[in-house]
Every structure is written in C-alpha cells, then in structure tokens.
Amino acid sequence: MNVNVKAEPSFRESVDLMFNRAVALMDLSPGLEEKIRVCNSTYTVRFGVRLRGAIHTFTGYRSVHSEHMEPVKGGIRYAPNVHQDEVEALAALMTYKCALVEAPFGGSKGGLRIDPRQYDEHELELITRRFAYELIKRDLIHPSQNVPAPDMGTGEREMAWIADQYARMNTTDINARACVTGKPLNSGGIAGRVEATGRGVQYALREFFRDRLDVDKAGLSGTLDGKRVIVQGLGNVGYHAAKFLSEEDGCRITGIIERDGALFDPKGLNVEAVRSWIVKHGGVTGYPDAAHVVEGAAVLEEECDILIPAAMEGVIHMENAARIRAPLIIEAANGPVTAGADDILRRKGTVIIPDMYANAGGVTVSYFEWVKNLSHIRFGRMQRRQEESRHQLVVDELEALSDSLGKTWTLSPDFKARYLRGADELELVRSGLDDTMRIAYQSMRAIWHERGDVEDLRTAAYLVSIGKVAASYRAKGL
C-alpha cells in the first residue's frame, strides 16, 4: 500500500472529520457538539496468562464513547494491531449506529491485541476468560451497563466464554445472560444473530434498489438481479452478504479479496465453495476454479456494480480512491473509506452507503437478543401456534366455501403451507431486522434528497444520529 502517510487521516481522525462535516450543517448549542464527539473513557488493561510454560502479557481496551443511553454496546475485536485510537473510533461509530437504527444503547467497543490464529482453542479460552474477568470486575461487561458482542476475530465461541465468566462471577444475577450478545443458541443466543450483519447488508441494498432515484444517482439501473459484486473479506459479514446476495437476489460475485490475494471471475464465483476452501486452507491461494490475483487490494479497483469492503478500516484511501470504478460502495466493514478517500469519491459521484447504517444489522439483532435474555423467553413462543390455529380457521372456511361451489377453485398447497406456518424466532428476527433497515434508510434518504446542502448519505446518516443523541442530552441534561 503506497499511502501518503502525511495527508491520510487516521481512522479516528476520519470519524471526527466526517462528524465535523455533519455538525457544520447543524445548529447545536455551544459545547454540546464537543460533548457528543469526544470519547468518554477508555480503560486499558494489561494482564498475564500462563501458556506453554511461560507468562504471556496481553493488552486490551474497552472504550465507552457515549452514555446518553445505557447499557452501552459494541463488539470486542481480536487483532494484532488493535490500538486505543482504533477502539475509540469504533466506539464513536457505535454511538451513531445505535442512534440511527433506534437501538437503545450508547456506544462502546473493545479490543484485544492478539493474533487469534497463533493460539489453540484452549489457550484462547484462558485468554478470553482472563480479559473478561478484568472487564467484568470494573462493570465494563454488565447487562445494564456495558454489553459486548462479536467483531473481527471473535464469534459465538468467545461470547459464550464471556457469558459464562460473567455468570461465575455474578451467581445471583438472574439477567446474567444479557451481559453479552452474539452467543450460541444453546447459551442464550438468538436465531439469526450470526448472519445478521451480512443479512442487514442485503436488506440495505434491497431498500436502496427499491428507489429509482437513488439507483439513478449511482448511475445504475434495474434491480439487484445480475449485478456484479466485489467483496473484500469473506469472514462473518462478507460471507453472509455475498451468500445471500448471490443465492437470493441474483447478484454475481465476481471478486473475493482476502488477506492472501483475491479471486476474480467475471462469470461469478461460487461463494460456498470459496468459503469452504478458506476454512480448510486458511486463504484463497490454490483455489482451483478462478484466477488468483496476488495483489488482492488491486481487485478493489476492478469494474463492478457494487463494491462491498467487509474486512477492515482504511482500505480505500487517498492513493487508490480515484481508481475505484464501482459506482456504488456499501461499507459492510467499519471505516473502510478514509475521510480523504470519501472526499475524492464524493466528487466523482460514487454513492456510498455508510458503515453506521450498512453494518447495523449486527447491533440490531444483538438488541433483540438482549431483549430476549431480559424477558427470558424465546420470540414467538406464545403466539406461534395461536397464529397457526387462526390461519387454519380461515383456510377451513375457504375450503368449505370451495366445496359448496363444487370445487371450482382450490387453494394451492404452496399457499396453504406458507399461510398456515406461524412465525418462528428466525422469521421474527429477520422481519424486525428488515423493518429496522428500511426505516433507518428512509430517515437518511429523506435528508439526502430534501436538504440541498447534504450531498451524501454519510452526512445524512450523521445528521440523523447526532440529532437523536443531541435530543437525548437536551431532554435529560448532561
């Protein structure tokens, strides 16, 4: 990467610059703007774990950006280069994201400086439990104060360890399971959480393509069907987004970029096959059914209709922004476009669906999981069969009518099966997620189209979310 280091804003600076662009268009009282922008606190912990006969010291962070609503919420990331500024930038994005999608949380984020691929499962459990212990004893993991979730390098497994660690330390807390989200189903998780962020990316694109004017703005036409898509990062978010878009919306995944290069095939890649290859071989190298590009990042610049950066921050920067050919970028990762690149792309007319909206599916379904844990009952458990029996009444009545008319018409078996099935938890979660993504998109879109001084969806998203955070501070005082 040949980035102009001097001019390129850091992730943290990028978030602040984007925030500043938006607040310049708002009428916030003196001081409130600064109060919303700053990160309230960051706790840094260094702890030792005995592994392989020696003590290893690890560094972790938990930042709380805004407590205008509690608990605060945000994932825990495991990556070798995690640092305080990055965690604070991510915590700030969580504040704005939660406000935008009306998840009743403040913003937080955590990180552990570790390369998880260097440790086996048992070692990772020891490290995770120790990190969780340090955060739990300071209420930085707590069902009513601070609720983590998965992020890069962590998943259901780590969340289950954290939940168990909290339960061991708080044996009488009946809401213990609500201390973390993204847990496996058997440990208090919710159906549809693993897929949620990728699913949210799909719902966001569907909502975008419902609107002719917006599709025109990106210089595109038609529906998602047949659109050429390049995805960077086939991890949790990228894999699910690519899978759903190709299997359910007719998109062609022409490029997949991973750490060890990229796969490219204009006819479309088989997402499942590539994913299985990565799981087995640790990367895309050697995959037999597509061309391998060693300099993976170059594939970001290939021609396509939709570019989905779903790996990490800062991958589209001032050096490569002008060469990005995709007319539409959806930021599945947090902060993949730097503020400098954002300026270049905006001037080029590239439409960017911003991270705080695009990847909000994860926190939305985490919110549902937290509610499920606090209510101690699975969604749909009370209503499902009652709904089915009421639908059965209608079907019986229609069939009796059909009989009385000499069966001149009948209900198709497919209709009957679908109509009679009451919604289970997964269907309810998807419905709640779809509704959230549609409403949040419309709130940004209204500002984007109606205000002459707002050029892009990102600024519109900041205006919506900062407005909500400001209203919350005004209502209750600081």
User: What residues line the site for ligand NAD (CB under 6 A)?
Assistant: 150-153, 197, 232-238, 257-259, 296, 310-312, 332-334, 359, 362
The CA-CA-CA angle for residues 202, 313, 223, to 5°, reads 25
Q: Shortest gap between Cβ of 186 and ligand NAD (angstroms)?
A: 19
Q: For residues 103 and 333, which CB has a smaller minimum distance to ligand NAD in the complex?
A: 333
Active site residue 109: yes
Contact 201, 308 (CB under 8 A): yes
Q: Shortest gap between Cβ of 260 and ligand NAD (angstroms)?
A: 8
Element (H, E) at 47: strand 41-51
Q: For residues 224 and 230, which CB has a smaller minimum distance to ligand NAD in the complex?
A: 230
How far is Cα 152 from Cα 79, in angstroms, rounded to an integer? 7
Q: Shortest gap between Cβ of 405 and ligand NAD (angstroms)?
A: 53
Give the contacts of 17 (CB within 8 A, at least 6 positions apart).
9, 339
Q: Which residue is nearest to ligand NAD (CB)?
A: 235
The residue whose two tokens read 């938006």 is 22
The H-assigned helical ranges of 173-234 are 196-209, 212-217
Q: Shortest gap between Cβ of 315 and ligand NAD (angstroms)?
A: 7
Starting at the edge strand found earlier in the chain, the sheet holding 306-309 runs 291-293, 261-264, 252-258, 228-232, 306-309, 328-330, 351-353
Q: For residues 71 and 150, which CB has a smaller minimum distance to ligand NAD in the complex?
A: 150
What angle separates helix 384-404 from helix 413-420, to the nearest 10 degrees? 150
How far is Cα 66 from Cα 40, in angstroms, rounded to an integer? 6
Contact 277, 300 (CB under 8 A): no
- DSSP calls for 126-174: HHHHHHHHHHHTTTSSBTTTEE--B-TT--HHHHHHHHHHHHHH-TT-T
What angle separates helix 457-476 from helix 425-450, to the nearest 10 degrees? 100
145 residue type, one letter = Q
Q: Shortest gap between Cβ of 320 and ligand NAD (angstroms)?
A: 13
Exposed e or buried b for every residue in 442-475, given b needs 16+ CB within 10 A? ebbbebbeeeeebebbbbbbbbbbbbbbbebbee
Q: Shortest gap between Cβ of 35 and ligand NAD (angstroms)?
A: 25
How far is Cα 100 from Cα 469, in angstroms, rounded to an integer? 9
Q: For residues 42 and 197, which CB has a smaller minimum distance to ligand NAD in the complex?
A: 197
Q: For residues 163 and 333, which CB has a smaller minimum distance to ligand NAD in the complex?
A: 333
Q: Shortest gap between Cβ of 150 and ligand NAD (angstroms)?
A: 5
72-73 and 146-147 beta bridge pairing: parallel
How far is Cα 191 from Cα 428, in angstroms, rounded to an integer? 9
Catalytic residue among 73, 109, 183, 243: 109
Q: For residues 45 and 159, which CB has a smaller minimum distance to ligand NAD in the complex?
A: 159
Q: For residues 74 and 143, which CB has a smaller minimum distance to ligand NAD in the complex?
A: 74
Q: For residues 136 and 312, which CB has a smaller minimum distance to ligand NAD in the complex?
A: 312
Q: Shortest gap between Cβ of 78 and ligand NAD (angstroms)?
A: 8
The full length of the chain comes to: 478
Q: What is the set of active-site residues?
A: 109
